[in-house]
Amino acid sequence: MPDNSNNSQSAVSVRNVYKAFGKRPETVVRKLKAGATRDEVKSLGTAAVIDASFEVARGEIFVVMGLSGSGKSTLIRTLNGIQPPTEGTVEIFGQDITTVNAKRLRQIRREKISMVFQHFALLPHRTVGQNAAYALETRGVNRSDREKKAKESLELVGLKGYEYYYPHELSGGMRQRVGLARALAAETELMLMDEAFSALDPLIRKEMQDQLLELQQELGKTIVFITHDLNEAMRLGNRIAVMRDGRIVQNGTTEQILNDPANDYVAQFIQDVDRTRVLTAGDVKEPPVALLGAEQGPRAAHRLMRENQTTALCVVDQAKHLLGVVYETDAAEGVASGQDTLEGLIRPMPTTSSTTVLAELLNAAAEHAAGLAVVDDDGRLLGVIPRVTLLSSLADPSSAALKTIPQEATS
């Protein structure tokens, strides 16, 4: 968990970073600190990053989102010192890289940080295998070891057997896989991805995103990902920082950004987000109002429903495995016929895992009045999603398109 009080846990720690370009960047930063706006200092130089601070926890995917010119690409380049910040500190695994000498900085880049580029940045005169081994070659790893490692990482990204091809013989998606393999072969804990999928067409992009998430689960890297696409940001990010005009305007989880935008700019951004593809069952699930034990009878079911004012109840066994659902009408019938057990009254209930996006739940929800059950891999009940909850979670909290009739007196 990101926690400012415990910095040694952070993979990346950025504090009050400024980056200005131009003849006198220090003057630009001084004026900005004194309260000047970005436009006011324009004549002196370009302020690319203004007072950026954030922490990235180990094993997290941290997404920096912003339109072109928002400073996000400069920001990511301050993390490996390709663009040293004009002011402020950048710590990578506790080491401040803004004060180290060039040699040490190179060493940190070799051992701790790898990078994936928007336009792949592969070496056209080298084979795919040689490209993937580039980081290791720089580090001075011997030939057979680095070829082995490169082969492994190419296999990881699904390019087995392509070692002897040249980059120009591959498609865009495959080339970026090579870029990814090159970063993976470096075996650094931190990976910087600068608009890594932006140059790919949408289908390939989705595929690459899925692959990245898979790899991340497998390898547990810390990833800083830059994108201008909010949908991509929401899909990939544990946390998202939204940048505008050089400043980070909001830094929070997917849900925080969606449900509590910090300002109009962020709100405007998320308008176009397809919530059904961003929010997951785990995000919106609720604890069930009441549970019915498998050994209980229709009478107990009926009573529980009345007490909780609900028309359906989930039935679970002792280990909380979901068995199904009992509806009020069935329970009433059972009571009337004097039945002692729930046998024959339990109906199937649609289940889903917590990582499923809402778009895939809508159909099932429409067909089942009781809503959906969220279960873990072993079938244990984690929570439920009643239809009302599903509907309201799709709504944009800032939307004002509806009027209520009759109008409320307070408005």
Partner 1 sequence: MNSPGMLLADEETDGAFIPRLPVGEKLEEGFDWFQDQFSGLIRGVEIAFETTSEGLAEILAAPDALVLTAIFALIAFLMRDWKLALLTVPLMLFIVSVDLWEEALETLALVAVATVVALVIAIPLGVLAAKSQFVSRAVRPVLDLMQTMPALVWLIPTLAMFGLGMPAGILATIIFALPPGVRFTELAIRQVDSEVVEAGHAFGSTGWQILFGIQLPLATKTIMAGVNQVIMLALSMAVFGGFVGAGGLGNEVSGAINTIDLERGLEAGLCVVMFAIYLDRVTAALGATEESTLYKLLRRRKPQQQQTEPDEAEAAEASTKTG
- Using CB under 8 A, list all residues that contact partner 1: 80, 82, 106-111, 113-115, 117-119, 121-125, 134-135, 138-139, 151, 160-161, 163-165, 182, 186, 192
Output the smallest distance, CB 110 to partner 1, in A: 3
- Distance from the first to the final alpha carbon of the chain: 41
Closer residue to partner 1, CB minimum distance, 135 or 208: 135
Closer residue to partner 1, CB minimum distance, 21 or 265: 21
Q: What is the largest CA-CA distance in the chain?
A: 89
Closer residue to partner 1, CB minimum distance, 184 or 230: 184
Output the smallest distance, CB 123 to partner 1, in A: 6
How would you label 362-375 residue by residue, b for 16+ Cβ within 10 Å and e otherwise? eebbeebebbbbbb
CA distance 355 to 353: 6
If phi > 0 it is left, if psi is from -120 to 50 it is alpha, else beta; for residue 162 that is: alpha
DSSP-assigned states of every residue in 95-154: EETTSS-HHHHHHHHHHHEEEE-TT----TTS-HHHHHTHHHHHHT--HHHHHHHHHHHH
Output the smallest distance, CB 12 to partner 1, in A: 15
Output the smallest distance, CB 178 to partner 1, in A: 12
Output the smallest distance, CB 129 to partner 1, in A: 9
Closer residue to partner 1, CB minimum distance, 36 or 199: 199
If phi > 0 it is left, if psi is from -120 to 50 it is alpha, else beta; for residue 165 that is: beta
Closer residue to partner 1, CB minimum distance, 195 or 283: 195
Closer residue to partner 1, CB minimum distance, 162 or 327: 162
Closer residue to partner 1, CB minimum distance, 80 or 222: 80
| 10 contact partners, CB below 8 Å, separation of at least 6 | 2, 55, 56, 57, 58, 91, 94
Output the smallest distance, CB 125 to partner 1, in A: 5
Output the smallest distance, CB 82 to partner 1, in A: 5
Pairing of strands 381-385, 372-375: antiparallel
